[in-house]
Structure 1
Amino acid sequence: MDTSESSTPPETEADPDPQERHRRGWRRWAMDTRPLRRPAYRRLWSSTIVTAVGSQLTAVAVPKQIYDITGSSAWVGYASLAGLLPMVLFALWGGAVADTMDRRRLLLITNTGIAVTSVLFWLQAVSGLDSVAVLMVLLAAQQAFFGLNAPARNASIARLVPAQELAAANALGSTVMQVGLVAGPLLAGALIPVIGLPELYLIDALALCLTLWAVVRLPALPPLAGSTVRRAGVREIAEGFRYISRHKVLLLSFLADVIAMVFGMPRALFPQLAAETYAPYGEGLALGLLFAAIPIGAVLGGLFSGTFSRARRHGWMVIGAVVAWGASITGFGLSGSLWLAVVFLAAAGVADMVSMVFRGAILLSAATDEMRGRMQGVFTVVVAGGPRLADVLHGTAGAAFGPRAAVAGGGLLVVVVMLGLAAAVPALRRYRV
């Protein structure tokens, strides 16, 4: 950890009385809200609340509009790929940029860019342009701005809260994002028949304007004194990867997520399972429950983050969470009952929340400030890319071995590989904040 940084983040309030850290009764188990006592973090978090739901409105509206224009699910898939590549490239570059300039300024620029693209989405919908090419260009631009934005936003957290509150801060942010994943699509589905697609884009644009106000009120977050990073080119991006290779705990935190998501994310098989294994319950009901169960479990994990956010052995928490994820996915694969399957998937969601919280805390605490942007850029790519690789792997395995065998086998593989990695390389086991 960079000992050159001040132990007190900018614009923070005094730490609460030590006795308050040991809360009694139900409050001991509820969400750990200590970071919200920090005014700067509270502003950053409040902007996340607005965008978590608003961004999901556009995430639903774009594929809906493309399908309405083309009548083809293939074009919906092509649009997803059109957004993925710019996001990956600009997340890697954006991480390097976040290490060279005031992160607050970068957040203002990128949030403005995202808001402008939302306005353009609204204008093309209002005009009745009905152009898939325009939609794909706008989607690519918006995802590029998101790739630039995410590393700066995540890297800023370590400058706004003290090290012992990083896990709690990550839990608060992750919970809001998971709530958005559940509430946003439901809200979009309810609003589209009532107000139409153009107004859905407009709501997202207006919500993004509110986030700009919150970001404006953040303190300046320039590179710390002594930072040697002056530019953001290929060499600096490559140095980020070399930094990961030299710090095993960072490398292992990325590998833990790759193991969990690539081997153990079975969402590509949900439609087949809903149509075959859980058909007696109703295919539509089964499909909805399968897709909703993991985010709902993650939200529950966040709401009760007080049960784990004060843990100091962050490495063991990641190992345990990934193993619990794999075991839960295995249980899901073996479940013939829809309701038991939902319970296992919800348990997997809780484990995923714990893993996200402590992997994020490790990336912020184990890296120096001049490297945090690049670490968050790689983190953004891993989080976005892992589930997409899993879709290919599970789809192929499901066709070869059957969906339930593929799911259960993937879950077991997660457990075995994670335990083997933890046994072979002790850096993650030994890491504590």
Structure 2
Amino acid sequence: MSSNPPDAQHPTEAIELPRRRRFVDLSPLREHPAFARLWIGSAVSGVGYWVTSVAVGLFIFDITGDTFAVALVGGISLAPMIVAGLWGGMLADAFDRRRVLIVSSIVAWVSILGIVALALVDGAVGGRPPIWPLYVLTTLNAVAATISNATRSSITPRIVPEEMVSRANALNGIAFGLQLTIGPALAGVLVAAIGFPLTFAVDAVLFTAGFLGVVGLPKLPPLSRTAKPGWESLRDGVRFLRTAPNIRMSFIVDIVAMSLGRPYVLLPAIGASVLGGGSVTVGVLTAATAVGTFLTSLFSGPVAHVHRYGVAIGRAIMLFGIFTALFGAVIALAATGWFGPVGAEWDRVNLPLLLLAAVFLAGTGASDEVSAIFRSTMLLTAAPDEMRGRLQGIFIVVVTGGPRVGDLIAGGLAVLTTVWLPPVAGGLAIVAIIAVLLRVQSTFRHYDARDPQP
């Protein structure tokens, strides 16, 4: 909305204000073909990514029968993903971003084809394939995807106008919500219906859409001279971050939320012995978060009229903490046993409390997406173009490391106490810490998108 007063010489002349929207604004897709191609390609290929992510775990468990072997997929790839996030950001700032995306996409595609080949070998030569090539290929795929994500995020302000960046980020939230809702469910159906080789092949086919979206981008060379990837380039990014209190605070508040508000590691225990329902309950609660993300993005029309990003981010994360604590309260109520015995079978689930818990987890997904839209927009509009890649790389380290720290905190606290305490205590701690941070960091609290300052 325009902040300029009416012309003094024409006091009766009406000012035409932009129409307020309720639903997501599709203008970035309609008016900017490069963004539309990239968005469609990313949405379709992202479904394939989640298909493979889930199917790989099922494949490894089918071969080994060992849950820890499945857990190693994420553990082995964590450190390379962090390095790839930092390195990928430097590549995005130093080279043509379209070229970086093309190369990283080809590497990811090759890794998927390698997984298809291993699945085809399974049983064809009288034995099961070794596990270590799967770890190598999934790590290679994760590294390539991390570099692609850091680069793709930094591209948005180059292919849409600055005033549309928040709306573009809202559309990206819709894509992510669809990926996270459709991909895991599709993986289970495909594995049961057509087997592992064809399931992985589906990802390879869907990945084609993402590659075509990347190829359709214009050339995106650096707008200014930037240090080549290496320690000096990384130090430049860190030095800039030290002088960027608003961007720095956007990272800090996300770390607080993800470290203290991650109940997902507790869901198997909750499904087995607290709410009942076993793996079905885990699936319902996991999907609930994605539904919240999707609905927020769908009704994101008002984001174009919000300018106080710091306040919006702070309130959204505090609401995230409240929903997390409420989820924990539902689990505490179920743990009392007042509602009768439960079990891992679906017919022994506490359905009313499961639905209530799902509503609160949907609330965490919705509030987290509000925060993500404004944090991403702040990062992309307040930072200069020559720093966006590196800052996106640091951002990926934050969003990759924060949830894993959160899993350790929640899991450790649950072992020492009870399964409902981590979300209750963590949610309340989030509210208190964010309130203090907003009070202490006045520039973040007063951040105005009409005059973006890092």
TM-score scaled by length of structure 2: 0.87
For residues 430 and 135 of structure 1, the distance between their equivalents in structure 2, rounded to whole angstroms, comes to 49
- Deviation of residue 69 (structure 1)? 1.3
Quote the residue 1:14 is aligned against. Answer: none
For residues 139 and 427 of structure 1, the distance between their equivalents in structure 2, rounded to whole angstroms, comes to 42
Quote the residue 1:89 is aligned against. Answer: 83
8 Å CA contact 2:268–2:279 kept in 1: the answer is no
- Deviation of residue 276 (structure 1)? 3.0
Quote the residue 2:322 is aligned against. Answer: 327
Q: Structure 1: which 5+ runs fail to align?
A: 1-17
Verify: 1:31 aligned to 2:31, yes or no. Answer: no
For residues 84 and 293 of structure 1, the distance between their equivalents in structure 2, rounded to whole angstroms, comes to 26
For residues 322 and 211 of structure 2, the distance between their equivalents in structure 1, rounded to whole angstroms, comes to 42
The count of corresponding residues between Structure 1 and Structure 2 is 408
SS in 1 for 2:198: helix
For residues 360 and 216 of structure 2, the distance between their equivalents in structure 1, rounded to whole angstroms, comes to 42
Quote the residue 1:8 is aligned against. Answer: none
Verify: 1:357 aligned to 2:373, yes or no. Answer: yes
8 Å CA contact 2:89–2:391 kept in 1: the answer is yes
Match for residue 121 of structure 1 among 115, 130, 140: 115
- Deviation of residue 135 (structure 1)? 0.4
8 Å CA contact 1:100–1:223 kept in 2: the answer is yes
Quote the residue 2:155 is aligned against. Answer: 156
Quote the residue 1:174 is aligned against. Answer: 173
For residues 48 and 369 of structure 2, the distance between their equivalents in structure 1, rounded to whole angstroms, comes to 21
Quote the residue 2:433 is aligned against. Answer: 417
- Deviation of residue 82 (structure 1)? 1.5
Superposed CA offset, 1:144-186 (max 9, x none)? 1112211110000011111221111111112211211111011
8 Å CA contact 1:175–1:302 kept in 2: the answer is yes
Quote the residue 1:253 is aligned against. Answer: 250
For residues 254 and 154 of structure 1, the distance between their equivalents in structure 2, rounded to whole angstroms, comes to 16
Q: 1:53 and 1:406, CA in 2 relative to 1: closer, same or farther beyond 3 A?
A: same
8 Å CA contact 1:244–1:250 kept in 2: the answer is yes
- Deviation of residue 429 (structure 1)? 0.9
8 Å CA contact 1:48–1:177 kept in 2: the answer is no
Q: Which amino acid aligns with 2:45?
A: T
SS in 1 for 2:23: coil
SS in 2 for 1:219: coil
Q: Which amino acid aligns with 2:286?
A: F
Quote the residue 1:213 is aligned against. Answer: 212
332-341 or 42-51, which deviates more: 332-341
For residues 16 and 48 of structure 2, the distance between their equivalents in structure 1, rounded to whole angstroms, comes to 39
8 Å CA contact 1:168–1:310 kept in 2: the answer is no
Verify: 1:141 aligned to 2:140, yes or no. Answer: yes
Quote the residue 1:100 is aligned against. Answer: 94
- Deviation of residue 86 (structure 1)? 1.3
- Deviation of residue 20 (structure 1)? 8.4
Quote the residue 1:9 is aligned against. Answer: none
For residues 278 and 201 of structure 1, the distance between their equivalents in structure 2, rounded to whole angstroms, comes to 33
8 Å CA contact 2:151–2:389 kept in 1: the answer is yes
- Deviation of residue 377 (structure 1)? 0.5
8 Å CA contact 2:40–2:209 kept in 1: the answer is no
Verify: 1:286 aligned to 2:281, yes or no. Answer: yes
- Deviation of residue 91 (structure 1)? 1.0
209-218 or 418-427, which deviates more: 209-218
- Deviation of residue 242 (structure 1)? 2.0
- Deviation of residue 385 (structure 1)? 1.3
For residues 75 and 187 of structure 2, the distance between their equivalents in structure 1, rounded to whole angstroms, comes to 22
Match for residue 413 of structure 2 among 378, 397, 401: 397
Give 1 or 2 for the bigger CA radius of gyration: 2
Quote the residue 1:348 is aligned against. Answer: 364
8 Å CA contact 1:398–1:405 kept in 2: the answer is yes
8 Å CA contact 2:45–2:208 kept in 1: the answer is no
Quote the residue 1:229 is aligned against. Answer: 226
SS in 1 for 2:94: coil
238-247 or 109-118, which deviates more: 238-247
For residues 18 and 196 of structure 2, the distance between their equivalents in structure 1, rounded to whole angstroms, comes to 47
For residues 274 and 356 of structure 1, the distance between their equivalents in structure 2, rounded to whole angstroms, comes to 29
For residues 275 and 33 of structure 1, the distance between their equivalents in structure 2, rounded to whole angstroms, comes to 42
SS in 2 for 1:397: helix
53-62 or 265-274, which deviates more: 265-274
Superposed CA offset, 1:23-78 (max 9, x none)? 4xxxx211121211211111111111111211011101211111111110111111
- Deviation of residue 305 (structure 1)? 0.7
- Deviation of residue 104 (structure 1)? 0.7
Quote the residue 1:3 is aligned against. Answer: none
For residues 241 and 81 of structure 1, the distance between their equivalents in structure 2, rounded to whole angstroms, comes to 26
Q: Which amino acid aligns with 1:31?
A: V
TM-score scaled by length of structure 1: 0.91
Superposed CA offset, 1:67-97 (max 9, x none)? 1111101111112112222111111011011
Superposed CA offset, 1:110-136 (max 9, x none)? 111111111111111112261111001
Q: 1:309 and 1:130, CA in 2 relative to 1: closer, same or farther beyond 3 A?
A: farther
